[in-house]
A and B are shown apart, each in its own frame.
Chain A
Amino acid sequence: MEFSQQIAQYIITGLTIGAIYAIVAMGFNIIHNATGIVNFAQCEFISLGGMFMYSLAVLFKVNLIIAFFISMAGVALIGALIEMGPIRHARSKEIIILIFLTIGLSEILRGTAQVVWGTDNVGVPAFSGETPIHLPGGAAIVPQHIWIFAITVMVMLMLRYFFKKTLMGKAMRATAVNRRAAALAGISVNRMVLFSFAFSGALGAVAGMIIAPISSTSYDTGIMLGLKGFAAAILGGYGNFAGAILGGIILGLLESLGAGLISSQYKDAIAFFVLLLVLFLKPRGIMGYGESERV
C-alpha cells in the first residue's frame, strides 16, 4: 500500500470518528445552551439509544426506520423525565451541584440498563449493508459512515437554524445567559430547560444508534464516547454547534493520524495533550466567544 493511500485512509478514519464525536458534542451543547451545565447523563443517552435500537430492531424485529424513531422518542422521554424530576426540584441551582446531580442520574440509568440488558456487547444491523466503498485516493469506508456524516451535518444545520432563527431557540439561549432576565421577559424557563433535555436525549440516542452497527453497543458504551464528545465540545468552543463539528473532527484526526504516524499507544495522550495546548492558548476553545465576567 502506498504512503499516500495510507494518509488518505487515516484522514477518512479521522473524519468518521470525528463525526461521531461531533454529534455527541452537540448533545452536550444543547443542554449547555439552556442551562450552562455539563450533563454527564449524556453518556447514558448514547448507551440507551443503542440498546433501545437493539431491543426493537434485533429482539422484536421492528423495521429499522421505525425502530430509529421510537428509540429517539424513548430516550427523549427519559431526558425529559430527568429534568422534570430531580433537575427541576433540586433545591440548589448552583452549576456544580447540578453537574454532579447528572452524575448521580447517570449512575441510576447505567445501573438500570445493566440490570435490564446485562453486560454483554450486542450488535445492531447496519442501515444499508456492509459492502465497503472504495474512495478515489485508496481509502475505504462502509455505507454506515456515509449515514454518520449525513446525519451529523443535517443535525448541525438544523440546530443552528433552530437556535439562531426560531423564537424558541432564541428563548432557550436567553435562558442560559440569565434565567431571571429570561423569566422576566416572559420566557417559560422550565419549559425551555425541559425541551433542552428532551432534545439532547434524542440527539444522544441518535449518536448511539448510528455507531452501534460499527462498534456494537452495550449498557456502558456511552462513557468513553461521552468523554471524547465532551472534549470535542470544549475544543470547538462550548455551546457552539459549528465548533462542535470542528472540535470533533480535529479530535478524530488527531487520534487517527496520531495512531497512524506517531504511536498508537499514545494516541489518546497526544489528542488530550493538544487539547490542553489549545485551551492554554485559546481559553474558550477554537470558536468560543468571550463571555463577560459577571461581578
Chain B
Amino acid sequence: MNRRLLTLVVMVIAVSFMVGSSLCYSAEPIKIAGIFALTGRAAHIGTAQKDAVLLAIDETNQQGGINGRMLEMVMADTESNPTKAVMALKKILESQDVVAIIGPTLTGTAMAMRGFIEKEKIPTFMHSGGDVILKAPLDKKNPNSMPKWTFKSPYKAADAMGKICQYMNQHGIKKIGFIYSNEGFGKDGVRNVKVQAPKYGVEIVAQEAFQPKDIDMTAQLTRINAKGVDAIIAWTVGPAMGIIAKNIKQLGIKAPLFECHGAGDPIFWKVAGESGEGVMMPSTKIVVADQLPDSDIQKKMILDYVKAYRAKFNREPGTMVAYGADAAFITVNAIKKVGPDRAKIRDAIENTTGYVGISGIYNISPQDHNGLSMDDIVMIKATKGGWKLLD
C-alpha cells in the first residue's frame, strides 16, 4: 500500500515541478516563438521546419545576435490539432516579450490561429502550404477584411501548379489525370489545377482522391489510366508520394508523373526507392543549388545555407527546409532593422522587397503577404537518387 502512495506522491511532485518551472523566464534575449507540428500527423514536416528555423537563429547568434542581444526561440507543439494550436498560441503570448511567431505547419492549425493572431497583433510568418490563409477574408461578410499580421513563406500553391501546367504546355502534354490526398493540401490542389490547367491549354480528364495514410492507390490510378492521359499530377506530401510512383510502375503506366512542390525532399527517395526515377516536380532551388548557373543571385546564399545545414544535422536539406529558413531570416532581418517591437516588425516584414531568400526573391507588399512569384520556382526531375534541374 505504501508503495502505491509513494508513486502517487512522486507523480504529484513531478507534475507540480514541471508546471512551476514553466513559469520562470529570464528577460535578457529577444524572443521569437516557433510553433510547429512536432507530434501528430504532420510531425514529419514540422520537425524539418523546426530544424531549419533553429539553424537560422543559430547563425544569427553566431554573428553576434541583434545589437548584442541574442535571439531565443520559444517553442510550442500544435500536435497537428487546431485546438491545441490555439492553446499553444495563447501560451506563447503569455510571455509578453515574444516579438514574432514563426509557424505553424498545417493549414488547418494556421486557420484556427489566424483570427487570434489578428486580434493579438503579433507578426506571424507561417509555413503552411494552403493559399487560403492569405486569401480568405477574416469576416465572411466583409471581403476586404484581409489578414494584416499573417505572412506565409512557401510559394502560393497556385504558382507551383501554374509552373507544372506551363511545363506541360511547352512539352505538348494535353490531357492529364489529377490524384490528390483527401485533406486540406490536396483539396487546395484540386481548386488550383482547375484554374491553372485551362490557362495553359491542359485538360483535366480524371480526378481521384485517396486518404493520406492509404497503402495502395492502384484502383485510382487504374481509373485515371483508363481515360488515356498524357501525364498524371499527384498532389500530396508524405508516404503517398512514393506509393503512387511505385503503383505507376506496377501498372505499367507510361504517362509521366508530376508531383507537388513539397516532393523535392530526401524523403521522396526513401519512400519511392527506384520507382522515383523520372518523376518531375516544381521545387525551390535548394535541392539543385550546385546546378544553378553562376549568374543566379540566389546561388551563393543557398550553397552557404546548405553547407551549414549539412554540418549541423548531417543530412541533406529538402524543400520544406527552405520555407522554414526563409520565414526565419526575413523575420530576423526585420527585427535587425526596427528592433523588438511587434508593430514595427510587421511593417518591416510587409516592406521587404528584393530579399534574396532560399525559396526565391521575396517582394512582400500589403497586397501580397507571400511575395514569391512563379519565376522563383524551378522544375526538377528525380534522377539517380538526386535531382536534375530541367531547362
| Residues in chain A within 8 A of chain B (CB atoms) | 1, 3, 6, 9-10, 13-14, 16-17, 20, 114, 118-123, 125, 130, 132, 134, 140-142, 211, 214-216, 218, 220-221, 223-225, 255-257, 259-260, 264-265, 267-268
Cβ-defined contact, A264 with B250, below 8 A: no
Residues of A within 8 A of B41 (CB): 220
Bound form: Cα–Cα A134–B249 in Å = 12
Segment 214-268 of B: residues with Cβ below 8 Å from A: 214-216, 218-220, 222-223, 225-226, 238-239, 242-243, 246, 249-252, 267
Tell me which of A10, A125, A211, A268 contacts B222 (CB under 8 A). Answer: A10
Cβ-defined contact, B250 with A6, below 8 A: no
Bound form: Cα–Cα A123–B211 in Å = 20
> B345-358 vs A: 1/0 string, CB under 8 Å?
00000000000000
Residue ID in chain B nearest A134 by CB atoms: B252
**Is B82's CB within 8 Å of the partner chain A?**
no
Tell me which of B44, B209, B249 contacts A264 (CB under 8 A). Answer: B209
Cβ-defined contact, A215 with B226, below 8 A: no
Bound form: Cα–Cα A223–B39 in Å = 14
Residue of B46, B243, B251, B252 with highest tally of chain A CB at under 10 A: B251
Chain B interface, >50% SS class: helix
Cβ-defined contact, A119 with B43, below 8 A: yes
Cβ-defined contact, B223 with A6, below 8 A: yes
Query: Which one of B17-25, B68-76, B271-279, B288-296 is at the interface?
Result: B271-279
**Is B118's CB within 8 Å of the partner chain A?**
no
22 A-B contacts (beta carbon < 8 Å): A1-B225, A9-B219, A13-B218, A13-B219, A119-B44, A121-B270, A130-B246, A130-B249, A132-B249, A132-B250, A132-B251, A140-B251, A215-B215, A220-B43, A223-B213, A224-B213, A256-B219, A259-B220, A260-B222, A264-B209, A265-B182, A267-B211
> B185-216 vs A: 1/0 string, CB under 8 Å?
00000000000000000000000111101111
Q: How large is the interface on B (under 10, 10 to 19, 20 to 34, 35 or more residues)?
A: 35 or more
Cβ-defined contact, A268 with B270, below 8 A: no
Bound form: Cα–Cα A259–B207 in Å = 11
Residues of B within 8 A of A216 (CB): 239, 242-243, 270-271
Residues of A within 8 A of B271 (CB): 121-123, 216
Bound form: Cα–Cα A268–B219 in Å = 13
Bound form: Cα–Cα A16–B242 in Å = 18
Cβ-defined contact, B223 with A215, below 8 A: no
Bound form: Cα–Cα A141–B214 in Å = 17
Cβ-defined contact, A259 with B210, below 8 A: yes
Cβ-defined contact, A140 with B43, below 8 A: no
Residues of A within 8 A of B81 (CB): none
Residues of A within 8 A of B182 (CB): 265
**Is B169's CB within 8 Å of the partner chain A?**
no
Cβ-defined contact, B238 with A260, below 8 A: no
**Known A17-B215, A121-B267, A264-B223; 6 more pairs at CB < 8 Å:** A1-B226, A3-B226, A13-B218, A16-B216, A215-B216, A259-B223
Cβ-defined contact, A121 with B44, below 8 A: yes
| Known A-B contacts A140-B250, A141-B250, A216-B239; A118 and B219 likewise in contact (beta carbons under 8 Å) | no
Residues of B within 8 A of A267 (CB): 211
Shortest CB–CB separation between residue A160 and chain B, in angstroms?
Answer: 26
Residue ID in chain B nearest A216 by CB atoms: B271
User: Which 7 A-B residue pairings sit nearest by Cβ, starting from the closest?
Assistant: A224-B213, A215-B215, A119-B43, A216-B271, A119-B44, A256-B219, A259-B219
Tell me which of A14, A17, A123, A214 contacts B270 (CB under 8 A). Answer: A123
Residues of B within 8 A of A259 (CB): 208, 210, 219-220, 223
Residues of B within 8 A of A224 (CB): 211, 213-214
Bound form: Cα–Cα A260–B274 in Å = 27
Segment 22-67 of B: residues with Cβ below 8 Å from A: 39, 41, 43-44, 46-47
Shortest CB–CB separation between residue A189 and chain B, in angstroms?
Answer: 24
Shortest CB–CB separation between residue A140 and chain B, in angstroms?
Answer: 5
Cβ-defined contact, A140 with B252, below 8 A: yes
Bound form: Cα–Cα A220–B218 in Å = 23
Cβ-defined contact, A130 with B44, below 8 A: no
Bound form: Cα–Cα A141–B222 in Å = 12
Residues of B within 8 A of A140 (CB): 250-252
Residue ID in chain B nearest A11 by CB atoms: B219
Residue ID in chain A nearest B207 by CB atoms: A264
Cβ-defined contact, A13 with B216, below 8 A: yes
Cβ-defined contact, A264 with B225, below 8 A: no
Shortest CB–CB separation between residue B182 and chain A, in angstroms?
Answer: 6
Residues of B within 8 A of A119 (CB): 43-44, 46-47
Bound form: Cα–Cα A58–B187 in Å = 35
Shortest CB–CB separation between residue B369 and chain A, in angstroms?
Answer: 28
Cβ-defined contact, B274 with A264, below 8 A: no
Shortest CB–CB separation between residue B78 and chain A, in angstroms?
Answer: 14
Residues of A within 8 A of B43 (CB): 114, 119, 220
Residues of B within 8 A of A1 (CB): 222, 225-226
Bound form: Cα–Cα A132–B274 in Å = 13
Residues of A within 8 A of B249 (CB): 130, 132
Cβ-defined contact, B273 with A130, below 8 A: yes
Residues of A within 8 A of B209 (CB): 264-265
Bound form: Cα–Cα A120–B313 in Å = 14
Cβ-defined contact, B273 with A123, below 8 A: yes
Residue of B216, B226, B238 with highest tally of chain A CB at under 10 A: B216
Residues of A within 8 A of B216 (CB): 13, 16-17, 214-215, 256
Cβ-defined contact, A214 with B246, below 8 A: yes
Residue ID in chain B nearest A225 by CB atoms: B215
Residues of B within 8 A of A132 (CB): 249-252
Tell me which of B39, B218, B238, B274 contacts A9 (CB under 8 A). Answer: B218
Residues of A within 8 A of B251 (CB): 9, 132, 140
